[in-house]
Every structure is written in structure tokens, then in C-alpha cells.
Amino acid sequence: MSNLEISNSQPKSPITGLTRDEQLITEANQGVFIQDATHEELGACLIYCFSLTGLTIPNYPNEAGKTVLIDFIIGNYPSFRLNEVRTAFQMNAAGRFGEVIDHYQTFSGAYFGKVMTAFRKKSQDLKLYQEQAKEWNKKSEPLHIISDEESVNESYQNYLKVGNWQFIYPLNYDCLKRNGYGVSIEEGTRQRALFNSAAKEKTMFPESKERQFKQWLTAAIFNDFRNQGKKEIKL
């Protein structure tokens, strides 16, 4: 089965209308390009990839090896963004390119290139699929536009079943706030402290941390609704 067929078969988010692969690649298309990044930023990105892929600390490249690796990346992948690098290694670890590409405890330029080549192909396949879908939609019935209430209640029902804030759509907080259910400044400050305490052991980048804080806030609101015995939310 091709990546294009896989993309077509994946479930789509009712909020964004995107498959998980499309969402990951779309969200990664922002931030600093490799050619504009400092060596410190590239180094931090690589440390993230080392940790994510299970490279043991004794096998981390030494300073000279890291410098060679960074020069290789800048020379061969300047138009990729740092977020795309992180996402590429996330997708590989999750098996989204098919069989996981293994480094066998050697994080070399060749290994980095294999992962980025798989990411590039996946991106190109998704772009082709989106173009084909756009043409098809021109000939199809208009898509149903999901309302704030529908999107919030879908997340709320999942929260009632699972109780996990990480499965909530980040946009739900904006929907709730638009409809008068946003938290107060005082409560937002309190929840921020709780969130920071819970997240301090995790590696988070600023853009993903803010999305996750919105999920956290929404869960706090959902928890109040659950305690009130609400089966659904009216907006």
C-alpha cells in the first residue's frame, strides 16, 4: 500500500478536516529554517532526536562528531525547519513511514538523511493527495461545517470516557471562551502553575506547550461540568 493510499484511509479530525499525518506535517511547517538556526538551536534539536530515538548517552556524538553532523545538516537540508526535523523523527518513532528506520546506536549523517528523505516523501505524497482531494471536492457536495458545540461535545464525551486532557482538541478552549466559558485571570494563573508543575519533566517546545496548556484548561472546565453531572454542553 502506498503512502498516498494510507493517507486516504486515515480518519480525519472533525475540527481540522486533516488526517493525523497531515496535521503533524502542517503544524511542523512553521518556525526557524535550518539555514537560519544557530548551532545551539540545532544542537538542542539533535539532543531531542537522540533522546526520542533511544540513542543511549554513551553513543551520543562527541563535540567534534556533533559539529560534523551539524555542518552536514546545514549543507544538505537548509530549507527544512527545525520543527520539521523534530516531527520527522517523531513520525519515524511512531512507525508513520512504515518500518521504523533504526540507527543501531549510531546517529550518523546517513541515518539523519534516511529519516528526512522518508519525511520529504510523506510530505510530497500528502500534498499530492490534498491536491487531488481539492479537485474532487469541487465536484462533490459541500462539506458539513462542524459547529463549536459539536466539536466541544465530541471532546467532552471522550473526556468523560477516558479522563485524559491530552486527547482534547486545543481549539476547544477557544470555542468555550467564545461562548462565555473561559476561565478567569486568577483561575488561569492557578491552572498555569499546576500545568507547569505537571509538565516540568517533559521536553516541550514553546508552540506545543501553549497548545497543551489550552488542552489542560479545557480539561479543567470539563471537570467542572462533569462534577455538575452534565452529560453534554450547550453553547
Q: Are 116 and 20 contained in the same domain?
A: yes
Q: Are 96 and 204 contained in the same domain?
A: no
Separation CA 224–CA 233 (nearest Å):
11
pTM, rounded to two decimals:
0.52
Is 131 inside a domain boundary?
yes
Q: Are 121 and 170 contained in the same domain?
A: no
Is 62 inside a domain boundary?
yes
The whole-number pLDDT of residue 10 equals: 53
Residues contacting residue 197 through CB under 8 Å, at least 6 positions apart: none
Q: 100 pLDDT band (50/70/90 cuts)?
A: very high
Higher-confidence position of 55 and 148: 55
Q: Are 36 and 129 contained in the same domain?
A: yes
Q: Are 20 and 128 contained in the same domain?
A: yes
Q: Are 20 and 132 contained in the same domain?
A: yes
What would the DSSP string read from start to end of 42-93? HHHHHHHHHHHTT--GGGS--HHHHHHHHHHHHHH-TTSBHHHHHHHHHHHH
Distance between start and end Cα atoms, the chain: 43
3-state SS class at 19: strand
Query: Per-residue pLDDT tens for 168-191?
Result: 877 888 888 888 888 888 888 998
Q: Provide the mean pLDDT of the chain.
A: 83
Q: Are 63 and 179 contained in the same domain?
A: no
Query: Per-residue pLDDT tens for 202-217?
Result: 545 555 778 888 888 8
Q: 8 pLDDT band (50/70/90 cuts)?
A: very low
Residues contacting residue 137 through CB under 8 Å, at least 6 positions apart: 143
pLDDT of residue 11 exceeding 60, the answer is no
Amino acid at 113: G
Is 233 inside a domain boundary?
no
Higher-confidence position of 16 and 115: 115
Is 100 inside a domain boundary?
yes
The whole-number pLDDT of residue 1 equals: 41
Higher-confidence position of 49 and 147: 49
Closest by Cα among 198, 142, 124 to 165: 198
Separation CA 121–CA 164 (nearest Å):
33
Q: Does residue 159 come out as left (phi exceeding 0), alpha (psi in the -120 to 50 range) or beta?
A: alpha
Buried b (16+ CB within 10 A) or exposed e, 137-160: eeeeeeeeeeebeebbbbbbeebe
Q: Are 41 and 108 contained in the same domain?
A: yes
Q: Indicate the number of domains in the chain.
A: 2
Q: Which of 116, 138, 160 is the last residue of a domain?
A: 138
Q: Are 129 and 21 contained in the same domain?
A: yes
The residue behind cell 497548545 is 211
Is 171 inside a domain boundary?
yes
Q: Are 133 and 186 contained in the same domain?
A: no
pLDDT of residue 140 exceeding 70, the answer is no
Q: Which of 80, 114, 138 is the last residue of a domain?
A: 138
The residue behind cell 469541487 is 138
Is 166 inside a domain boundary?
yes
Could you tell me the residue range of the domain that residue 22 belongs to? 3-138
The whole-number pLDDT of residue 16 equals: 41
Residues contacting residue 70 through CB under 8 Å, at least 6 positions apart: 39, 42, 43, 46
Is 117 inside a domain boundary?
yes
Q: Are 123 and 182 contained in the same domain?
A: no
Judge residue 13's burial from the number of C-beta atoms within 10 Å of its C-beta, 0-12 exposed, 13-18 middle, 19 or more buried.
middle
Is 165 inside a domain boundary?
yes
The whole-number pLDDT of residue 107 equals: 96
Q: Are 103 and 158 contained in the same domain?
A: no
Q: Which of 108, 138, 168 is the last residue of a domain?
A: 138
